[in-house]
Structures are given as structure tokens and as C-alpha cells.
Structure 1
């Protein structure tokens, strides 16, 4: 199991954090990405999304872009490059839209 966790194939955390993440996924809906680089969640304004919100992992794929900058409410969101043109962001669904741009 430790090998799987070290190779990012399995996520391990406390029961509370896993429950909050799963609840946030269920209550905040799917991440919606627009051509403008705006990312929102389909149910972000729902009462349960606000109650259980926690940052969710969103994978962004870009074409011909070597690096990205992401912000939410004017604060830079760290991005992790997974592969060429593919990045992972942690976005809080209830905090408003996130914006992805070229630096």
C-alpha cells in the first residue's frame, strides 16, 4: 500500500478529511471549464456545498502552453505539472471561479 501511495495511485488522509472531500465532490457538482480559462462548479451555490466545502483537485489540460498561472479571489493557486500541457489545481468550489492563464 505504501508503494501505491508514494506513486500517487492512492490518496491517504484522515477520516474527517476524506469525508469532507467526498462530501464536497457530491454537493458541489462537476468542475466546469470554459474556453476563457474560467473554472466553476455546477452546484457551488448550494447550501450543502457551502457547508461541506473543501478544495477539490481539478486537472486542466492545455494545448501548446508550457506553464500556467491560476488564481481564485485574487490569490494564486499552486499548480502541479503532471505531464506536458496537463496540470492539477486545488480549487475551493464555494470561493468563486478560478482563472487559469499563461504567465
Structure 2
């Protein structure tokens, strides 16, 4: 969470034509460490209880969530309840990313 990384923000118009590109050399989620810890802990709870419905969702009001990230429907792993489920990963909520970008004065 404390790592900074470079990003390009590409702005397009309603016809999907690029109208602006901005580069930021140091983009970070470090101010969201508390939310990240909560999402991580909820994910551990889902594994401990063997209940994939406990994975944090974007609607829970935290800055991050867990959702499927698989190459295809066969890209699975054995969950702690013995079921094969699609691979999952952590994601930053859209509103989190948009808020960070606005802090860089990109509108």
C-alpha cells in the first residue's frame, strides 16, 4: 500500500477520442491503509468460514473490494470450503481512484 508507482491518465470525449493525457510519476494508495487492512481481514474471515459471500464488496463503503479476476471460467482454485471458485483479487473502488485523480487536479 505504501508503494508509489507511475500512471498515465487518458481522458476521452463522448466519441472515445483521446483529448488529454497526463502523467504522474508518483501515484499511491497509502492514505487508505486502514481500509486496506479491513478488506484484508474480511477476506481472511471469508477463507476461515469457508463462505465466499463474505468477500468484501464495493458496496460496503471501504476503499477496496475483492472480485473475480480469472482468465476464463476454468481459471479456478479450491476454496477453503472445498468448492472450486474463480480466482479473486483485490481491487480499488472506482470512487477511490477517481478521488485520487481529482486530488491531482485532473477534471
Q: Which structure has more RCO (C-alpha within 8 Å, separation ≥ 6)?
A: 1
TM-score (norm 2): 0.28
> If each structure's helix is expressed as a fraction of its own residues, which one has the higher value?
2
TM-score (norm 1): 0.28
